[in-house]
Amino acid sequence: MNRRVHNDRAHIDLSLLEVLDAVYIERNIGRAALRLDVSQPVVSGALTRLRLLLKDQLFRRSPGGVEPTELVNLIAPAIHRSLSEIHDALQETGTFVPEQSDRTFMISMSDSGELSFLPTLHRHLATIAPNLRLRSVRIPLGELASALETNAVHIALGQLPDMGVEFERAHLFDQDYVLVTGEHHPLAGQVVTWELLTQFEFLLVGRFPDVEQLIAEQGLTSQVRLRVAHYLAVPSILSTSNLAVWLPRSLIEPLALLGRYRASSVATLERNFSLSAVRHRRSARDPGAQWFWEQVTQLIAGHYQGRG
């Protein structure tokens, strides 16, 4: 019996290990299926076969997904390393033809990044690689290094800290914040001085410490009337209120498609910040990932540099 179990485990199909790896990384059957570009029943069927082979439950249900058993926690890191080495070896000897590829590429970015970058990026890729698929996700900063290392995402975009020598960074562009109001705001169109600024009431969006610090330094924190998590709420709020909001300059163009606004720079209160793209250095050995990196970084940098 022991010899039979040992032989069964020695001949586990590589595709089953890829499923185990994906579920371990994603902690969710549905997301693992998307990662592998297969249906959920395929993932569930593979897990059933693995449970029989390994004599273990493998994953237990948990809020929002699944959690690995002790056995999976023990073997999954080694499986992932081995799969990565196999993947790297195959990619290095392969070719990538954008016009023919139906590969899925993953980018981590915020909702402001989606509004600013995705329309331009999608139009560009649809022209040169019509069968390619693009997926945007938002990975928490504390999980981003692991996601890049494991290819859960290929590229991260945003205001990103230094992530270590294993990661490559490309500076895309610098931009500032501008003060935006609805077209019919009673103060719209006036030159914004500090004295005039004290008459505004503000909307804050997302988590931008620079904006909060700017408002606090001017003693305007008490004039923040509303906070929202997502930028898609901004157009309707500005068009139906007398609130003003500080927005990254790159958002003005996409938001203009959703309404009419007035944007003003306040030179004495200028805050500039850098947008970067980050990837794991190992991805440079993958011809497809390298091509995708070049397309993303060159397109975004070229589109936005000099616009400020």
Question: Structural domain boundaries of the chain?
Answer: 2-93, 99-308
Conformation bin of residue 270: beta by default, left when phi > 0, alpha when psi is -120 to 50: beta
Q: Which spans in the chain are helix H?
A: 2-10, 14-26, 29-36, 40-54, 70-93, 111-128, 141-149, 194-197, 209-217, 234-239, 252-256, 287-304
2-93, which class in CATH?
Answer: mainly alpha
Specify the pLDDT at position 213.
Answer: 83
Q: What is the pLDDT along the chain (308 residues), one digit of tens a residue?
A: 444 444 555 567 888 999 999 999 889 999 899 888 888 999 999 999 999 999 999 999 998 889 999 999 999 988 988 887 787 676 666 678 999 998 889 999 988 889 889 999 999 999 999 999 999 998 888 889 988 988 889 999 998 989 889 999 999 998 888 888 888 888 877 777 777 888 889 999 877 777 888 888 888 889 999 999 888 888 889 988 889 998 888 888 888 787 788 888 776 667 778 899 999 998 888 889 999 999 999 999 987 765 54
Specify the pLDDT at position 121.
Answer: 94
Tokens standing for residue 213: 């610090």
Fold of 99-308: D-Maltodextrin-Binding Protein; domain 2 (3.40.190)
Specify the pLDDT at position 5.
Answer: 43
Specify the pLDDT at position 267.
Answer: 63
Specify the pLDDT at position 11.
Answer: 66
Give the CA diameter of the chain. 84
Distance of CA 265 to the CA centre of its chain: 28
